[in-house]
Chain A
């Protein structure tokens, strides 16, 4: 029987993650982020910015970053009769 996929079920790592300076717990998830602080962030209620607002910013970046800088190849886009390159 294969237990692939189970090894991270208790915890992916039982190293000694640093204690969070803000909440003093030592449970981390990806990017070394503190699990409790990430949960706490959800208690700050604000309006849903909607997917569009983040999309708009990511698009803004696409216009600014030269080809290859962020690991992607910029493709041209058409807007009416104009073309962004």
Chain B
């Protein structure tokens, strides 16, 4: 998995920190660093293609049309002057992306009827994007069917952020040959203390109770850091990370309420 700019230092105190999104914004009206800006934008697109595709699909397009439209949207973003047009004055990457996508689909509605598939040049590495590890998002049919496209976009976005943080934690354990530690303890990342049976974990992992507790504590800390780092890459200022997390938590709560209406 590629590292974000400031991968190990997004929250360094007192330091000026560059997130992917702030890098993109700073390069929006300048030719200097254009390549870095486009690379950062391409990386964000690669990470967040699923929310885009989910939104387009929920708008009622067939899977085939949704794929074409998602592809066209990314081409428009990466090859055009999307950022200048999008007025990135501007907000977070997530909200700007959604607004742009809504506008894009409004413009594209007529085009899809006359569009001929198969003859177009593909500019983005679509095959690479969809070849990444699958998502394991599980959602009830009732909730899924009740969500409007905008809400589904947020849920899918939240899942992407969380799954990337989990993957980075797994990779950290794996590179020490301890993927089993991740497999066993990740189930307890959000568990209340009373819900954790240290005795059974001691038996499963074959280490003393003190080590189990320390491992779990450290894994939770590390997970939190990865999560905040992932979110920070989509906001201009890392200080906005909490607000973005709160927004996504709220979106999850609202989606559940929507399902029960």
Residues of chain A having any CB pair with chain B under 8 Å:
1, 3-6, 8-17, 22-51, 53-55, 57-62, 64-66, 69-72
Chain A residues with CB under 8 Å of B245's CB are 39, 42-43
Interface of B is mostly: helix
Query: Which residue of A22, A25, A59 contacts B255 across the interface (Cβ within 8 Å)?
Result: A25
Are B227 and A27 in contact (CB-based, < 8 A)?
Answer: no
Is B67 interfacial (CB 8 A cutoff)? Answer: yes
Is B143 interfacial (CB 8 A cutoff)? Answer: yes
Is B219 interfacial (CB 8 A cutoff)? Answer: yes
Residues of chain B having any CB pair with chain A under 8 Å:
8, 11, 50, 53-54, 57-58, 63-64, 67, 117, 129-132, 134-141, 143-144, 152, 155-156, 158-159, 161-163, 165-166, 172-173, 176-181, 186-187, 189-190, 192, 205-208, 211, 214-215, 218-225, 227-228, 231, 241-242, 245-246, 248-249, 252-253, 255-256, 259
Chain A residues with CB under 8 Å of B222's CB are 49, 51, 54
Are B207 and A49 in contact (CB-based, < 8 A)?
Answer: no
Cα-based distance from A57 to B239 in the complex (angstroms): 30
Cα-based distance from A16 to B193 in the complex (angstroms): 26
Beyond A55-B172, A61-B178, list 18 extra A-B contacts (CB 8 Å).
Answer: A5-B131, A6-B130, A11-B144, A12-B136, A14-B138, A22-B192, A25-B252, A25-B256, A29-B159, A33-B189, A35-B159, A37-B190, A43-B245, A43-B246, A54-B219, A58-B181, A61-B215, A62-B178
Are A5 and B130 in contact (CB-based, < 8 A)?
Answer: yes
Are A17 and B176 in contact (CB-based, < 8 A)?
Answer: no
Interface centre among A23, A33, A54 (most CB of B within 10 A): A54
- Compute the total of residue contacts between A and B using a CB distance below 8 Å: 220
Chain A residues with CB under 8 Å of B223's CB are 38, 41
Chain A residues with CB under 8 Å of B242's CB are 43, 45
Chain B residues with CB under 8 Å of A44's CB are 224
